[in-house]
Structure 1
């Protein structure tokens, strides 16, 4: 038998087919290393002509990859120490580029002049690449299985030919769902008891072998069902998905994956509830809006109809001065009502949008209440109502607060008391100071009670909702937006205050508001009260002949009205159609030429703020001294602040009233 393997040509042929060459390396002192290679080895080295032994060694050693030279040298030392070694390394083939080789050898102890090694050199590039790909595939499989652990709590493989099921992975909490060496129908029967009774029949039908075959015939590659399953004593929502293989003509296998979706279902339920709540709120808001528009259409048209009607009647009887004056008086009353309606809507809009700020200015609280009472007193007297006012324990009458908003709160409550109290009834106002925990604030309580028509118990919870008005034949004749109480409550909340109401139908209502106001650092004399009863001066009695007014207004009609009203004072009025023209007129005028400037805010080219700042920036002495008055429809508290920041002295809101103009002119001229 051994003689069969003594044919060297047969051995070389086998080695050549296996891409394995033989080599001998001789290392002698003071001589270059030599390598002797058989024909297969020369071919593996990419050498077309037979080189010298020294050239052959260099062709091999010089092309060993730098990263592997240490490994090769270690293998050589191991051959010398242990008598045998094998190493795999990367080698740079002159034609093929980088290849991987397996190299092994033994020492030749018969060589006497140094060291002689004998061995083989095999190209294993294909094998090496396949090994690497297999390792990468195994790593990828591990990553996939790891991902399955994160996504699914159990996955299985089903052989659709034999219906055997095999567990791929599962978590510890579902040990009872492990499937090894059983058929899929048996596995299905084991799992069904854990499904919620209400979902059991659906799960049994959806994941039966018969349904799987129907799905395959329909060409579907997956199916998902959601059910409740019992885990740890509670039912949780799970998703069961079967994925069919892509085999042709029919899938031979399927993957069954189970996923816990309980948290997702709870979030979806919360989202649905939130959407439902939002929808209901939107519906309520839409109903409130429609109701509001309906009421506003009536309430706004009422004064507009009076204004238009009285204007028509006045034109028809223009020669009757007494009749015309009566019409003008009624137009003025309707205009004030229309303005109050618009202001309430705008106030509520700004409160809800957050574009609303409160100021802190010195005020005398009892005097402020007196000023509000002076406004409503004519209406109270007209209905022959009894007004009772008392102040109790007022230790700090001088405080800091938003005068305008406090007046607005009291006016809303007092006008309602007057409006819904019949003739001969009574309205009682009581201001009381109450103790506070802070020495920087004074606490107050104001109650307003009446003997009016009252409110029903069903309506009281909705009293402070925007646009809320009780449907009652006794209230239908009273105009209003249904925003007054909503604005009042919002303003008090901004002041960290509160409002409470007690009411009984046909007996009356009592509103109680509580709030704290900042105490001034240096209190004024408590006896110095606002004299709110002083009648405003008539503008025609100012006698401002010789004074000159600069009026900036871009609207021609508004300019005409303001000009004529100002001229009633006797002063001369010059006009500018925008802020830039007003600035230019002042710049080109002699010093002290103008005595006062009335400046609109919303104007083209240059607005009122910009124009006022430009005038104040001039170096001439009168630029910093001349009074600049904002005359604008921007009537909110932050608009007043912006006007002051622009260098304006005061703010007069439109529509312009003679009393306002008279007060401003008498203050500055």
Structure 2
């Protein structure tokens, strides 16, 4: 219990003590608050002093002073359970000296804490009550006078003003920090030129931008030398003269070279100040906008690239549309002619042209699909073990007849050991060389096309094979301009070349992308009118190839394919007709199923040696059907299930293998693929029969 001040404490004494507390520069705000609360306990002769913070219906003790430490800062109560709810409602100071005999005797605060004496006032900031300052005790005090009310309101007013001031200072400090960060982030400096004495001043940030020391003293003549000679310096000199003569300001983007020889872009703004019609001062800002200029230039380049890509896509659609129509015209025209042709020899020739046109059409489609995959980053290499020489022997055999038909010679020089095996994507390697050979033959009217291949163990690592490929021709050759744009899509050189020889112009672009995926190199040398030579260098991982059993034509003839039980599963009627027609050439009368569910029912009734299974079908697809056939043992272990699909990715092949399919055949289906599938099924059936005979 504090010792009361002597009765009749004079207002002057109170104000002097109050003033000494609130003006003491050595005290922090928290110390001043504690001193005021302690002083108030003496003035009001009470036990507890509180500064509260009110948020909605919550009462929080922010500061407290009491002699028995029965209450601590941070305590919270429902606002309705405190006397302060009446103070806030009244909006002014309120006091009770004997609460038990007043209208608040039923208040929860009196019921719970038996507080008899209370005096408090609301603390207002910006016209809003944010809390209260109040003093209380469980004892009955002397009645509070108007002087006491004035004292408590003075406490509240100072607290409100001080809290508002601190809030303003904090906001200003925060704003200053934010402004400083923004200026630093924006890299903006200021400058001013006093024309009465030609004194030039740079701010700290301006000096940083120019990369000079903070002690550097700029002058007008030397300041202008930072601007690059030529347009930038002439522009700023003219802007300064115009501002001095006419008061016209400037807002320019110019290049400067800093004191450390760094080339940057700045945005400089300037204004003029006049007195009595004479310019006395220039002032403005300077900002480093190098990043913004570079971004703008990058966006301009991207826009140009996007427009170029859009133009290339337009070329693609026009080119592909034209190229597709040519083989389609051959297919449709020859088939229409064959419908009424009576001469067997003419009919065969017409069908041959239709087949050749279909091969051209398929080649165009494959090129477009490959280019699309490359453009979207979806093309992946699919390596396997194979004998390297086999690939080039096959290509030589394939293109020899093509050259013969065109009356030119194909020379093949293969320096590859018979046992050199590699682990690589044989399909893509063959595609690259095939594309180069096709181009060489296309653009060669007379003379020869030469394929030279050298393969040897790498000098750097025994785990790799160095492969050097050269495809040369005696054809029309190329100009330097054509070579520069050679590997760009849709480009075939001069328009007359494109019109004469046709093609999509995607082939060499695909070749370049594939070689880059293989981390190889491709180069070309050519002389207009005297042929071209393409050189490729690749490094292939060493592989291993075990002895394989090849089914030869003789072996095929020894196997009676007509005895095979074959099922064709496809939801498309035309596809079923095509497959059954192709199988009939091998004396096979195949059964058909219209979807996976139908195939399962067919296999419940009969055992098949070979099933051609379409993958994408309604009701039950080919993968699901295969899983059911294998799981329920509706086919024998030796039965061959061949996937038929237009999807050729590695993931599609893996999905078919996981479902239980043995072979993977892509659409459109070639007779060779059908023949190989039949031979595999016949071989499996014969092995199964031999095994059964062995156990009998």
TM-score by length of 1: 0.69
**CA apart distance, 1:531:** 9.9
> What residue number does 1:216 align with?
none
After superposition, residues 436-451 of structure 1 pair within 5 angstroms as 436=458, 437-451=460-474
In structure 1, the partner of 2:170 is 139
Q: Tell me the distance in 1 between the aligned counterparts of 2:487 and 2:207.
A: 56
**1:321, 1:478 → 2: CA distance?**
32
Task: Report what 1:389 is aligned to.
Answer: 412
> Out of 456, 475, 481, which is 1:452 matched to?
475
- C-alpha displacement at 1:328, in angstroms? 0.9
**1:505 alignment partner, SS class:** coil
Query: Residues 204-259 of structure 1: CA distance to partner in whole angstroms, max 9, x if unpaired?
Result: 878999889xxxxxxxxxxx9556698975986356599xxxxxxxxxxxxx9966
The answer as to whether partners of 2:469 and 2:535 remain within 8 angstroms in 1 is yes
What SS is found at the alignment partner of 2:65?
helix
Matched, 1:69 2:65: yes
| Residues 290-312 of structure 1: CA deviation (Å, up to 9, x unaligned) | 33433333322211112222222
Unmatched segments (≥5 aa) in structure 2: 13-40, 52-62, 70-92, 96-117, 124-131, 136-149, 193-201, 209-219, 228-232, 272-281, 683-696
Q: Does 1:598 align with 2:594?
A: no
TM-aligned CA distance change 1:303 to 1:126, over 3 Å: same
Q: Distance in 2 between matches of 1:543 and 1:530?
A: 17
Which of 645, 649, 661 is the equivalent residue of 1:632? 645
* Residue in 2 that maps onto 1:607: 621
Q: Residues 73-127 of structure 1: CA distance to partner in whole angstroms, max 9, x if unpaired?
A: 9xxxxxxxxxxxxxxxx9995463576599xxxxxxxxxxxxxxxxx96633223
1:310 aligns with 2:345: no
2:581 counterpart residue number: 564
Residue 581 of structure 1: aligned partner: 598
1:267 aligns with: 291
Q: How far off is 1:518 after superposition? A: 1.9
8 Å Cα contact 1:399/1:520 also seen in 2: yes
Residues 1:335 and 2:372 are matched in the alignment = no
Q: Distance in 1 between matches of 2:433 and 2:225?
A: 70
Paired with 2:346 and 2:304, the residues of 1 have a C-alpha distance of: 53
1:240 and 1:147, CA in 2 relative to 1: closer, same or farther beyond 3 A?
farther
Q: Distance in 1 between matches of 2:668 and 2:608?
A: 24
Which one has the largest radius of gyration? 1
Q: Aligned residue for 1:237?
A: 266
Is contact 1:565-1:658 (8 Å) kept?
A: yes
Separation (CA, whole Å) in 2 of partners of 1:531 and 1:623:
22
1:113 equivalent in structure 2: none
1:288 is aligned, of 306, 309, 312, to 312
| 1:417 shift after superposition | 1.7
Q: 1:580 deviation in Å?
A: 3.5
Residue 644, structure 1, aligned to residue 657, structure 2: yes
CA distance in 1, matches of 2:207, 2:327: 76
Aligned counterpart, 2:454: 432
Give 5+ residue unaligned stretches, structure 1: 1-24, 28-32, 42-55, 74-89, 103-119, 158-168, 176-187, 213-223, 243-255
TM-score by length of 2: 0.66
**1:482 to partner: Cα distance:** 0.8
What is the deviation of 1:625?
3.9
Superposed CA deviations along residues 372-406 of structure 1, whole A, max 9, x for unmatched, are 12221221111222222222263752222222112
Q: In structure 2, the residue corresponding to 1:65 is in which secondary structure?
A: strand
1:598 Cα offset (Å): 0.8
Aligned twin of 2:445: 422
Match of 1:547 among 555, 561, 564: 564
Which of these residues, 325, 340, 364, is aligned with residue 301 of structure 1? 325
User: CA–CA distance in 2 between the matches of 1:37 and 1:155?
Assistant: 63
2:669 alignment counterpart:
656
> Structure 1 residues 225 and 428 mapped into 2: Cα distance closer, same or farther (>3 Å)?
closer
Partner of 1:252: none
Distance 1:380 1:530 in 2: 28
Decide whether aligned partners of structure 1 residues 293 and 626 sit closer, same or farther in structure 2, where only a CA change above 3 A counts: same
Please report how far the alpha carbon of residue 351 of structure 1 lies from its aligned counterpart in structure 2 after TM superposition.
1.9
Instruction: Write the distance in 1 (CA, Å) between the matches of 2:440 and 2:247.
Output: 78
Q: CA deviation at 1:545?
A: 3.6
Separation in structure 1 between the aligned mates of residue 473 and residue 257 of structure 2, nearest angstrom: 65
- Go from structure 1 to structure 2 and tell me whether the alpha carbon gap of 1:505 and 1:641 turns closer, same or farther (over 3 Å shift): farther
| Match in the other structure for 1:411 | 434
Higher RCO (CA 8 Å, separation ≥ 6 residues): 1
| Superposition deviation, residue 345 in structure 1 | 0.9
Partner residue, 1:160: none
Does structure 2 conserve the Cα–Cα contact (< 8 Å) formed by 1:542 and 1:570? no
- Paired with 1:411 and 1:530, the residues of 2 have a C-alpha distance of 24
- CA offsets per residue over residues 29-67 of structure 1, 9 Å max, x none? xxxx898568999xxxxxxxxxxxxxx999742342284
**Alignment match, 1:185:** none
